[in-house]
A and B are shown apart, each in its own frame.
Chain A
Amino acid sequence: MRRFVTVFVATVAGLVILLSFKTTTSKSGPPVALSGTTPGSPDPASSPSATAAQSTPAGNGPASAPPSTSSASAAPSTSSAKAAPSKPASGTKTVTGTAVPASEGGRRQFGIVTVQLTVTNGTITTATVVSWPHNDQHSLQISSFAIPVLNSEVVAAQSAQIDAVSGATITSDAYAQSLQAALDKLKA
């Protein structure tokens, strides 16, 4: 029996990207193109970003708590995204823009992420992803169970069913104690 928890992470992921760009623009980072300014505060109810910011875990058990997000720096921004529109300060405006990662012919890229910024007195106070790249599902399915180990009979070093092992066995010591070393002894 498996259940999945659907957690909307587009906001967090986008924030990571967006904040990343902010960090690197001082040097030679990818350009952040802002287009289509929208003065004034958005209606929080109609803002897709406000909806996305709410994690919606399904099911219960150990998975009922929302999994920790990938970026600690994104959390305060996300929570303030809900608070900001409700109290439109005089110096607050919201800007919807598009962050375009530099690709220059690269085969893979993040794609285009639409980001909504709230600027208060000249400082970006919140940044929220409004939409995520075209073919993305806007969600991440995290298992509702801790990933188990495989049946030991399957993974015994003597088993002909495993040819190689992928894992972080980098150092010689770790290798010597690894399943890969046991497999290699069989073929020496």
Chain B
Amino acid sequence: MPVFWPVGHVEHVMGTVVSFDLRIADESQRPAMRAAITSAVSWLHRVDGVFSTYRADSQISRLGRGEVRLADCDPDVAEVLELCATVGRETGGFFSSTYAGRLDPTGLVKGWAIQRASELLHAAGSSNHCVNGGGDMQVVGEPQPGDAWQVGIAHPLHRNELASVVSIRDGAVATSGTAERGAHVLDPFTGRPAETLASVTVVGSELTRVDAYATAALAMGDAAASWLESCPGYEAFAIRADGFGWWTTGYPRVATVPES
């Protein structure tokens, strides 16, 4: 019975921690996979340099101040801003690429960058991996032959305990919550922190939208249940600040659901 071996790497980038977990069937693949990780990591740092709102000299900061035109920026900037506009429409405006009146596509960049990093790894020959950026991940293939990736969903009200486990082969999982940085997601329409849900997890195929949808769902609160139910290809699991929860009707097909 063949066994996959892990090739791991942890990188601090984009204001978070990105965990690479590649699986190889043959040790001879290890050098190539190490090189692939190195390339993906350097690409993530390049993205950080272009999109960081914490760096005054990043292209996104200069664009926000009107010092450069979009046409003068890296083509990725136009792609990301276009995606922000599209996702904004898809979420009825609950996903927004402005924060405090300033241009801030941060809510989309991380998921987009991790999805792209996964695609880079795949193009370099990695057909089994998980790239997890601060709890939001794109997974490809299997962790072991015949197995699906088992993704634990952190319980937002119980530190380092899980509330559910998602089984996924190719796809994305993202969790947006208030636990980490307080109520950092604002309802774009009221300007007030979104506090109904302690966390909401979205499962889908591509992390760019999965991550942005999780952010939007947190801002929507319970209304996100109806919205995500109407989104084909997406499932969701939410734990409210009061400890009660809900999930989409298809979620039990991809994950364990809590038992009382």
Contact = CB atoms under 8 A, between A and B. Distances in A.
A121 interface: no
Contact of B154 (A71, A133, A136, A167): A167
A153 to B, nearest CB: 12
A95 interface: no
Given A171-B16, A172-B12, A102 B223 contact: no
A63 B244 contact: yes
Interface size class of B (residues with CB under 8 A): 35 or more
B121 interface: no
A148 B223 contact: no
A20 B156 contact: no
A168 B90 contact: no
B43 interface: no
Interface stretch (A35-43, A85-93, A104-112): A104-112
Interface in A156-185: 161-172, 174-175, 177-181, 183-184
Contacts of B179: 167-168
A110 B89 CA distance: 9
B177 interface: yes
Contacts of A174: 180
Contacts of A33: none
B8 A184 contact: yes
A143 B259 CA distance: 10
A180 B162 contact: no
Interface stretch (B32-40, B45-53, B168-176): B168-176
Given A20-B189, A143-B245, A177-B160, A165 B151 contact: yes
Nearest to B10: A184
B245 to A, nearest CB: 4
Nearest to A15: B223
Contacts of B132: 164-166, 180
Contacts of A26: none
B258 A147 contact: yes
A149 B135 contact: no
A170 B135 contact: yes
Nearest to B137: A164
Interface string A19-32: 11001100001100
B19 interface: yes
Contacts of A175: 16-17, 134
Contact of A169 (B8, B149, B180, B229): B180
B167 to A, nearest CB: 10
A137 B246 CA distance: 14
A48 interface: no
Question: Which residue, of B7, B136, B189, B258, has the highest number of chain A Cβ atoms within 10 A?
Answer: B189
Interface string B116-147: 00000000000000101011110100010000
17 contacts: A12-B223, A24-B93, A69-B222, A101-B92, A104-B89, A110-B92, A110-B227, A142-B240, A147-B243, A164-B137, A165-B154, A166-B132, A166-B153, A168-B154, A169-B154, A179-B160, A187-B8
Shortest 8 CB-CB contacts between residues of A and residues of B: A167-B154, A70-B221, A187-B8, A13-B223, A146-B243, A145-B260, A168-B180, A168-B177
Given A67-B240, A184-B8, A184-B21, 18 more contacts: A13-B227, A30-B92, A70-B220, A104-B89, A133-B226, A135-B230, A137-B226, A144-B260, A147-B163, A149-B163, A150-B161, A163-B149, A166-B137, A166-B174, A168-B178, A168-B179, A178-B154, A187-B21
